[in-house]
Structures are given as C-alpha cells and as structure tokens.
C-alpha cells in the first residue's frame, strides 16, 4: 500500500488495487440505498449527518486501531476503555470543572495504554492476550466503579463540545471526526513516527536494525490506541449526556471490521486512516440503511454480515507476503 | 373519645394496608399505580378514527429475544388490525448509545409513534428527545426515560406485573417443595428495573413463607457465568432444595450444572419461557416451574395505547399484564397465553 508510504522511505508496501475496494464498495452501497430508499429519508441531509455523527466514536477508535494494527499489535480492550474513561469523566464532573473530567478520562485511557503497552513491549507478551485479559478486567472495573449506576452529565459546555452541540453551525461530532482523521492521517503519512510504525509492523527485525526503538514504539502505539478510545468515551458521554458501564462494550468488532475493511492489514505493515474513516462510515451507513429498509432485526443482522464478509473478502485478497 | 380511638385505629389500619400494598403491587418507574392492561380498549368509533389517520409506527428494542419477539408480534398484529403500518424495527443490543442512533435513524422515516423499551432510563432522555422535537409520539415498554412526563412526553408504559411474577415464582416453588426448604438465589446484579423488581419480589415471597429460607445468594452480571455459580451453590450446600435463577438463559446453564453433577434433587424455578427448561420440566427433571408474563399482550396493549394516544385520547400511565406460573401440567396454556403460539413440538404437549 504505497499510498500510505511516506516519501523517501524504504519500500515497505506495494501498490494494490484492493486498497480502493472500500471506496468503491462504499459508493456502491450508498448508490443502492439512495435508489432503494429514495422515499424513506435516506438521502436527507439530517439522515446523512446522523450517520457521520453516530459513527464518530467508532471512527476515533478506528484511527487508533490503524496505528496499533499497522505496528503488528492489536488492542481488544478499547471497548472497556470507553466505559472507564466515560465513567471517570462523569464521576469527576459531579463535583469539579468539566476540564478536570476530560483530564480524568484521558489520564485513565493513557494509564491503561501504559500498562497494556508495557506488558507488550517490555514484558514480551502478545498484545492479543494482554488486551484480552485487560478487556475483561476493565469491564469488571467499569461495573464496580459506580456500582452499575449510570452517571448523568449536565454541564452544557462539555456536552456541547463533546457530542451534542454545534460550532459555527457544524455539529461538534463532525468537527471531532474531521480533526481526528486529519491529524491521524497526517501523522501516519507525513511524520517519522508514522513511518516507524509502518516499518515496525512490516518487519520488526529490519526496523530494529534500522535504528528504530521498536519496544518504545510499541508502547507509544498502545498508549495512542487507548487515548483514542478514551476520547471516544468522551464523545459518547457528550452525546448521550451520561455514562454507563455498557458504553463501548459492543464496539470492538465494529472498530476492527471498519479498520480491516478500510484496508489496514490485520498482521501489520500497512494501513490507512482515511480507509478506516470510510470503513467506519460504511458500517454506520449499513446500520442506517438496513433499518430504513424496514427489515426485521434478524434480517438486518444477516444482510449486514453478508455485506461485511463480501467487503472483507475483497479487501483482504492481497498477494501473499 | 371512643370515636377518636376508632378513627385512629382505622387510620392506622389503612396506613398499614397501604404499606403492605406498596410492597405487594407493581409500581411503575415513577411510582405509578398499575392499571390492568385489559382495561385499555378502543371503541369502534376510535378504531375508525385511527384507520383514517393513516398513522405509521416504528419499534425500537433494547435487545432481541424470544420475549421481545412476542411483544413485537403483539404490537405488529394489533397495529396491523388498526391499520397502522410498522415502518422500522431496531435492536440496540443493550447499548444506550446505539439506541440513540437507532431512534435518530428511525426518525428519517417520520413515524407517527415509536414503541420502545429504553436500555438505560438515565441516559434515555437524550436518546428520545429528537423524537419529541420531530413531533413523533412515544409509547414505552417496561420503563420510561428519567424526567419524562406521562401524557406530555409519552403516552404510557406497557409492562408485565413484575412483582406478581416474582411472587408467583416464590409461590410455585413453595408448592413444589411443600413450603419447606433451602433456596439458592441467583439475582441479576445490574441496575435493571425489570429484573430487580422480579428478583426482590421472589426473595420477599420466600422470606414470608415459614419453613423456607434463602440459604445462599449470588449476583449475576454475565449470564454465561451462571453454570459456575450453580456449581458453587451445590458444592457448598449439598442439601440445597432449589435454586431461583433471575431469567431463563442463565437458568439453562444452572440446569446444565446440576445435570453434570448428577443432581436430581435440587429444583429450579425461573422467569421467562424457554424450550430446554420446559422440556426438562415435562420430563420431571429439575425444573419445577417457569413464570412468564403475557408478553404478546404487552405488545398488543402498547399498540392499543399508542393508537389512543395518536387520536388524542389519554391513557393511564402504567399498564400491567398478568403473570402465569407454568408447571408440568400447564405448559400448553402457558405458551399460548404468554407468547401467543403453541409450545415447541419437542415438548410433546400439543
């Protein structure tokens, strides 16, 4: 995937037409829904805006996951981090300024990333198993934190900035999505850090030989993934104006599907932030369109599964490495 | 003086009566008294008015299950009878954020009314506010968003008689054990109004039955862990006479635990119908009784109340259907009454 290779760096990917599949697939599904649901409100500006807003937390998590997967790792604990960060912020905001709540959420995310990352980078443990364990552990902590109680958040500045408000007429979730994708894309494509992530995922040994501090990079990537999840937690908190231990619980597979369908390799060395955005929007659009088609819940699940399978089959048909 | 004494005695008796009533009757989420669901009906004139309105409805579930399917079928059948088209149906998978997205998506179809079971009453106001802003009426099942006002923000709540369910489970178990025995109590360890009321009512019924006691109890957050809890219960209390399990899915796992341990002594009582449990019951296994609500009628009632709300009629705030204790001999009736269909053929009671 030379698309994402920073200029002047060693060739670590290859031009691959399947990289465009997600874009074609997205347009194709969009076109089908636009025709089939022309009388069902699919194409209205408010509905399309809904899709972008509804997918904002997943998009933010997906961007973190692009880095994690590209570096050859995986983070299964992101869903639990969402709940912990949202609950932390909500609890702090009961008594304190909302900025402290935001700081608490990001600190919780950063700390979890630090623990996960340290175990992976310096404890030499596989990230799959480390984060599988912390996923369960953190889900327990989330349940324990407020004794299963939901915590409402009423600070209008916070809820306006993180989810429910608008700035110059633009919904805040749209702005967060644009900022996260813009920054994520820039760092991935244009900075030394992005290049090192790619190089590490492509071949850790070669990366190490080239002088990249692979362990430290793994730690950073795991922290980044957790921080993105913490931000997603804040977006959920602002959007539904309350935190609950189940927040984010079902997001992990959606995030991974969005990232993989978007063109990021599950085993590292190649990825795309813009593809992850499109993958995330594709997931949101599928949910939206299948509901508007008036399908029964079981039918929605079957059709969604088939479409994701088709998308994954097409995107993952890459030459063997 | 004597009149004053009589008055005070009467007042005290009434007060005591109301306390007892508070403990033994189902209350809505805002403390509303329950109104029998059967009292909600439409006159032929009202039905004609509903048909002329060309209304549409959408259904937004907290999750999907046999139970929510029965409620949904009740609602769809009644909406169909009343000429109201159901244009969308969603499943939030117990995710409050997803339910908000579902409601937003549904609104693109501009339904006249949304029938919904809120995942989380605390965060639900934010989920349903766009519907109110769009002029879509709301009819709830089991619970309503915190702070929403009956008659202004929503039409009514249609629900099971949750306290009656727990109490009938307790009574059915007492009948099976001859009002004597040690009971293990597996309750739902989550802030969920429905299971909480049912569980507490069961516990209160057992506590009020002389000769019966809760010997061991354990909360359940993840249904998949029920088998471990069942194993631990009988390992620690080999003379346990029965286990109450908060709903059918974990009860199936507790049954598996008892079977694996070769335990034929310990009875199981649970809530909500399940084919594997009923099969065990008709074969004279561990399952003593399954208490079910009239799920299909909850949906029918929701649709009727929604229709009344759409033509501007007021409906009492909290409508409760009855509970049924299903035992070995009443499986067919139980299935018909609760889910509005015959029991599965495997049960051999057609």
End-to-end CA distance of chain B: give it in Å, rounded: 66
Opening angle at CA A151, ends A150 and A152, nearest 5: 115
pLDDT tier, A118 (very low <50, low <70, confident <90, very high otherwise): very high
Edge-to-edge strands, sheet with B85-91 = B35-36, B318-321, B157-160, B137-141, B113-116, B56-61, B85-91
Find which of B89, B99, B105 to mutate to test the A interface (most A CBs within 10 Å of its CB).
B105
Q: Would you call B108 and A47 a contact, using CB atoms and an 8 Å cutoff? A: yes
| Residues of chain B with C-beta less than 8 angstroms from the C-beta of A42 | 108
- A16 pLDDT above the threshold of 70: no
DSSP string, A226-265: HHHHHHHHHHHHHHHTEE-TTTTTTHHHHHHHHHHHTT--
Between A172-186, B182-196, B286-300, the lowest mean confidence (pLDDT) is in B182-196
pLDDT attached to residue B77 = 97
Q: Would you call A297 and B96 a contact, using CB atoms and an 8 Å cutoff? A: no
- A54 pLDDT above the threshold of 80: yes
Residue B143, SS3? coil
Residue B318, SS3? strand
Q: Which residue did the predictor score with more confidence, B301 or B7?
A: B301
Q: Would you call A150 and B123 a contact, using CB atoms and an 8 Å cutoff? A: yes
| Residues of chain B with C-beta less than 8 angstroms from the C-beta of A247 | 95-97
Find which of A240, A286, A305 to mutate to test the B interface (most B CBs within 10 Å of its CB).
A240
pLDDT attached to residue B16 = 38
Of B89, B104, B106, the CB nearest to A297: B89
Of B97, B108, B127, the CB nearest to A41: B108
Contacts of B14 (CB under 8 A, 6+ apart): none
Average pLDDT, whole number, for chain B? 89
| Residues of chain B with C-beta less than 8 angstroms from the C-beta of A240 | 96-97, 100, 123, 126-127
Which phi and psi angles does B30 have, rounded to 5°?
-105, 20
Q: Would you call B91 and A300 a contact, using CB atoms and an 8 Å cutoff? A: yes
Q: Would you call B97 and A44 a contact, using CB atoms and an 8 Å cutoff? A: no
Between A182-191, B83-92, B248-257, the lowest mean confidence (pLDDT) is in B248-257
Determine the average pLDDT of the residues in B221-229. Answer: 84
Q: Would you call B123 and A240 a contact, using CB atoms and an 8 Å cutoff? A: yes
Measured between alpha carbons, how far is residue B86 from residues A269, A301, B109, B233 in Å?
A: 48, 19, 11, 46
> Whole-angstrom Cα distance, residue B16 to residue B252?
40
Contacts of B28 (CB under 8 A, 6+ apart): B34, B144, B157, B159, B317, B318
| Residues of chain B with C-beta less than 8 angstroms from the C-beta of A46 | 108
Q: Would you call B120 and A41 a contact, using CB atoms and an 8 Å cutoff? A: no
Kind of pairing, strands B181-188 and B157-160?
unpaired
Between A117-121, A277-281, B43-47, B94-98, the lowest mean confidence (pLDDT) is in B94-98
Q: Which residue did the predictor score with more confidence, A150 or B35?
A: B35
pLDDT attached to residue B10 = 42
Chain B: closest CA distance from residue A216 (Å)? 35
Q: Are B109 and A41 a contacting pair, CB within 8 Å?
A: yes
Q: Would you call A292 and B89 a contact, using CB atoms and an 8 Å cutoff? A: no
Q: Are B334 and B172 a contacting pair, CB within 8 Å?
A: no
Find which of B85, B106, B115, B123 to mutate to test the A interface (most A CBs within 10 Å of its CB).
B123
Chain A: closest CA distance from residue B61 (Å)? 9
Between A149-163, A299-313, B17-31, B225-239, the lowest mean confidence (pLDDT) is in B17-31
Of B97, B105, B110, the CB nearest to A288: B105
Return the residue of A nearest to B85 by Cα. A294
Of all residues in chain B, what percent carry a pLDDT higher than 70? 93
Contacts of B138 (CB under 8 A, 6+ apart): B113, B114, B116, B128, B131, B132, B148, B153, B154, B155
- A316 pLDDT above the threshold of 80: no
Return the residue of B nearest to A286 by Cα. B105
Of A143, A242, A292, the CB nearest to B221: A143
Conformation bin of residue A7: beta by default, left when phi > 0, alpha when psi is -120 to 50: beta
Q: Could you report the per-residue pLDDT of A146-179, keeping only the tens digit for each?
A: 877 788 888 999 999 998 888 888 999 999 999 9
Q: Are A61 and A251 a contacting pair, CB within 8 Å?
A: yes
pLDDT attached to residue A274 = 96
Q: A16: which 2 tokens?
A: 């691959």
Q: Would you call A287 and B101 a contact, using CB atoms and an 8 Å cutoff? A: yes
Find which of A150, A152, A287 to mutate to test the B interface (most B CBs within 10 Å of its CB).
A150
Q: Could you report the per-residue pLDDT of A62-81, keeping only the tens digit for each?
A: 999 999 999 999 999 999 99
Which residue from B285, B294, B252, B256 is spatially nearest to B165, judged by alpha carbons? B294
Q: Would you call B89 and A287 a contact, using CB atoms and an 8 Å cutoff? A: no
> Whole-angstrom Cα distance, residue B242 to residue B288?
9
Kind of pairing, strands A242-243 and A151-152?
antiparallel
Determine the average pLDDT of the residues in A19-41. Answer: 87
Of all residues in chain A, what percent carry a pLDDT higher than 90? 66
> Per DSSP, what are the bridge partners of residue B138?
B114
Chain A: closest CA distance from residue B284 (Å)? 34
pLDDT attached to residue B209 = 95
Q: Would you call A294 and B87 a contact, using CB atoms and an 8 Å cutoff? A: yes
- B292 pLDDT above the threshold of 70: yes
Q: Are B159 and B153 a contacting pair, CB within 8 Å?
A: no
Neighbours of B213 (CB within 10 A): 14
Q: Which residue did the predictor score with more confidence, A314 or A110?
A: A110
**Burial class of residue A313 (count of CB atoms within 10 Å of its CB; 0-12, 13-18, 19+):** exposed
Return the residue of B nearest to A233 by Cα. B97
Place of tokens 């968003």: B145
Find which of B101, B125, B192 to mutate to test the A interface (most A CBs within 10 Å of its CB).
B101
Q: A13: which 2 tokens?
A: 């990917």
Q: What is the CA radius of gyration of chain A?
A: 19
pTM: 0.78
- A203 pLDDT above the threshold of 50: yes
Q: Would you call A50 and B104 a contact, using CB atoms and an 8 Å cutoff? A: yes
> Whole-angstrom Cα distance, residue A251 to residue B221?
19
Q: Would you call B123 and A250 a contact, using CB atoms and an 8 Å cutoff? A: no
pLDDT tier, B238 (very low <50, low <70, confident <90, very high otherwise): confident
> Whole-angstrom Cα distance, residue B82 to residue B75?
10
pLDDT attached to residue A84 = 97
CB pairs below 8 Å between A and B: how many? 105
Determine the average pLDDT of the residues in A257-273. Answer: 91
User: From chain B, which residues contact A within 8 Å (Cβ)?
Assistant: 61, 64, 86-91, 93-98, 100-102, 104-106, 108-110, 119-120, 122-123, 125-127, 146, 189-191, 221
Determine the average pLDDT of the residues in A248-260. Answer: 92
Q: B302: which 2 tokens?
A: 């929701």
Q: Could you report the per-residue pLDDT of A173-195, keeping only the tens digit for each?
A: 999 999 999 999 999 999 999 99
Contacts of B263 (CB under 8 A, 6+ apart): B234, B286
| Residues of chain B with C-beta less than 8 angstroms from the C-beta of A148 | 189-191, 221
Measured between alpha carbons, how far is residue B65 from residues A202, A295, B94, B156 in Å?
A: 44, 16, 12, 23
- Determine the number of helices (DSSP H) and then strands (DSSP E) in chain B: 12, 13
User: From chain A, which residues contact B within 8 Å (Cβ)?
Assistant: 40-42, 44, 46-47, 50, 53-54, 57, 143, 147-152, 164, 236, 239-244, 246-247, 249-250, 284, 287-288, 291-292, 294-298, 300
């Amino acid at each position: 995937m030379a698309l994402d290779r920073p200029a002047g760096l060693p060739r670590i990917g290859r031009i691959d037409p399947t990289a465009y599949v997600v874009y074609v697939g997205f347009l194709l599904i969009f076109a089908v829904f636009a025709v089939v649901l022309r009388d069902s409100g699919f194409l209205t500006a408010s509905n399309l805006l809904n899709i972008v807003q509804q997918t904002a937390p997943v998009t933010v998590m997906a961007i973190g996951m692009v880095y994690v997967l590209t570096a050859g790792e995986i983070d299964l604990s992101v869903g639990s981090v969402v709940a912990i960060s949202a609950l932390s912020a909500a609890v702090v905001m009961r008594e304190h300024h909302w900025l402290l709540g935001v700081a608490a959420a990001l600190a919780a995310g950063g700390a979890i990333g630090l623990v996960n990352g340290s175990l992976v980078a310096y404890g030499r443990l596989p990230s799959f198993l480390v984060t599988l364990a912390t996923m369960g552990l953190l889900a327990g902590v989330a349940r324990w934190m407020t004794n299963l109680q939901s915590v409402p958040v009423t600070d209008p500045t916070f809820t306006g900035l993180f989810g429910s408000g608008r700035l110059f007429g633009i919904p805040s979730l749209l702005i967060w999505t644009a900022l996260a994708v813009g920054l994520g894309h820039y760092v991935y494509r244009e900075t030394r850090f992005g290049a090192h992530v790619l190089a590490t995922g492509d071949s850790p040994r070669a990366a190490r030989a080239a002088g990249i501090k692979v362990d430290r990079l793994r730690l950073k990537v795991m922290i980044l993934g957790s921080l993105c999840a913490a931000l997603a937690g804040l977006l959920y908190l602002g959007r539904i104006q309350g935190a609950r231990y189940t927040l984010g619980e079902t997001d992990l597979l959606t995030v991974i599907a969005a990232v993989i369908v978007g063109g990021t390799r599950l085993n590292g060395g190649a990825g795309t932030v813009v593809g992850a955005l499109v993958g995330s929007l594709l997931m949101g659009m599928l949910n939206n369109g299948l509901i508007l088609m008036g399908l029964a819940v079981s039918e929605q699940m079957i059709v969604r599964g088939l479409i994701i399978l088709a998308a994954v089959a097409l995107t993952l048909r890459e030459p063997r490495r | 003086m004597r009149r004053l004494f009589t008055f005070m005695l009467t007042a005290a008796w009434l007060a005591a009566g109301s306390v007892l009533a508070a403990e033994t009757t189902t209350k809505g989420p805002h403390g509303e008294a329950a109104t029998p669901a059967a009292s909600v009906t439409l006159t032929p004139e009202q039905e004609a008015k509903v048909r002329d309105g060309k209304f549409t409805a959408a259904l937004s579930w907290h999750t999907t299950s046999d139970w929510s399917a029965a409620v949904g079928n009740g609602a769809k059948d009644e909406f169909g009878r009343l000429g109201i088209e159901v244009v969308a149906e969603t499943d939030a998978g117990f995710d409050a954020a997803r339910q908000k997205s579902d409601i937003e998506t549904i609104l693109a179809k501009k339904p006249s009314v949304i029938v919904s079971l809120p995942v989380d009453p605390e965060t639900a106001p934010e989920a349903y506010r766009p519907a109110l802003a769009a002029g879509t009426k709301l009819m709830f099942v089991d619970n309503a968003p915190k702070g929403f006002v009956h008659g202004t923000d929503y039409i009514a709540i249609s629900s099971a008689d949750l306290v009656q369910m727990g109490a009938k489970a307790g009574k059915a178990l007492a009948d099976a054990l001859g009002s004597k025995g040690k009971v293990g109590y597996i309750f739902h360890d989550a802030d969920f109004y429905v299971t909480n009321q049912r569980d507490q009512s069961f516990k209160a019924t057992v506590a009020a039955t002389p000769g019966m006691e809760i010997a061991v109890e354990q909360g359940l957050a993840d249904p998949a862990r029920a088998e471990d809890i069942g194993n631990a219960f009988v390992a620690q209390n080999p003379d346990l006479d029965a286990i109450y399990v908060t709903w059918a899915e974990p009860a199936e796992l507790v049954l598996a635990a008892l079977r694996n341990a070769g335990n034929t002594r310990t009875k199981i009582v649970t809530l909500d119908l399940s084919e594997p449990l009923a099969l065990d019951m008709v074969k004279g296994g561990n399952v003593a009784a399954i208490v079910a609500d009239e799920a299909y009628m909850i949906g029918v009632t929701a649709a009727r109340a929604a229709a009344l709300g759409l033509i501007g009629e007021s409906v009492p705030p909290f409508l409760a259907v009855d509970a049924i204790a299903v035992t070995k001999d009443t499986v067919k009736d139980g299935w018909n009454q609760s889910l509005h269909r015959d029991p599965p053929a495997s049960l051999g009671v057609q």
